[in-house]
Amino acid sequence: MTDIDTIADRLNAIGNPTRLRIFRFLVRAGDNGVPVGRIQEELGIPGSTLSHHLKLLDSVDLVRRERKGTSLIYRAQFDGMRALVGSLVDECCADMPANSNVAQARRQSD
Amino acid sequence: MTDIDTIADRLNAIGNPTRLRIFRFLVRAGDNGVPVGRIQEELGIPGSTLSHHLKLLDSVDLVRRERKGTSLIYRAQFDGMRALVGSLVDECCADMPANSNVAQARRQSD
DNA sequence: CTATTATTTCTATATTTCTAGAAATACAGT
DNA sequence: ACTGTATTTCTAGAAATATAGAAATAATAG
């Protein structure tokens, strides 16, 4: 997950307003997850569109699906998200006081 | 920056492999910034393409530009990045142990 | 095995995005 | 003013994405 293309793929997955809304909704719903139908009602997204976005989120491991009867339950994949944020913070992008030792060290280790 | 569309815009900006490479390069270069020409050499991206991506990164305040003679110096905007990561962590998405108090509280405050 | 509910896949369309060459602009030096 | 260097804007084609209706599939109940 340290791989830059993987990071970009995940960022891209939640870098779309519709998908970010979906993902946030799932995060807030917690570990119980939410069936597609309820996401659909709650966010007002047509089934086929929703399915398309969920598939993409699933493909980058930001959500997980599990069947329960006729319903499919989607849940946020917290580990995937934490890994992503972790990558941003320490491999790449944030919490790096510009020109800090960290930044300097990194410049040399490249 | 708490606005979900703004968050999505920024995620989208670095959710592209080329732009993520550019941004990471600028982050690692630190506060001194880098002129376009050197980014171009270093990453091997044609000028017009590079300019296009830099413009997009600039539009979401993830980089800043400053003219120095004939050169334009680009620098990572650390504050913007920190704000983004902050949003992910506490308004939306990460470091939220599923079904934690935090998650519960959030569910009610919606 | 038929009906019902839930969701996905198929298909099509409209729109956006990525890429990069060519032309234009900006600045500095002479 | 003229030249060179740096970078952007213009333009256009190709590829990817977003959207959503219609048809197909999956699972359960009767």
pLDDT 10s digits, B31-78: 999 999 999 999 999 999 999 999 999 999 999 999 999 999 999 999
What was the pLDDT predicted at B23? 97
* Cβ of residue A32 lies below 7 Å from strand D: no
pLDDT band at B90 (very low <50, low <70, confident <90, very high): confident
Residue environment code for B62-84, b if the CB has 16+ CB neighbours within 10 A, otherwise e: bbbeeeeeeebbbbbbbebbbbb
* Cβ of residue B16 lies below 7 Å from strand C: yes
> Beta B63-68 vs A34-35: how paired, if at all?
unpaired
Interatomic distance A72 CA / C2 C1' (Å): 23
Q: Which of residues 45-84 of B touch strand D (CB under 7 A)?
A: 47-48, 50-52, 54-55, 65, 70-72
Structural tokens at position A10: 């995940």
Nucleotides of D under 7 A from a protein CB: 4-10, 17-23, 26-28
Residue with tokens 């968050």: B7
Higher-confidence residue of A22 and B93: namely A22
Per-residue pLDDT tens over the stretch A15-47: 999 999 999 999 999 999 999 999 999 999 999
- pLDDT < 70 regions, chain A: 1, 91-110
Which residues of chain A neighbour B110 with C-beta distances below 8 Å?
28
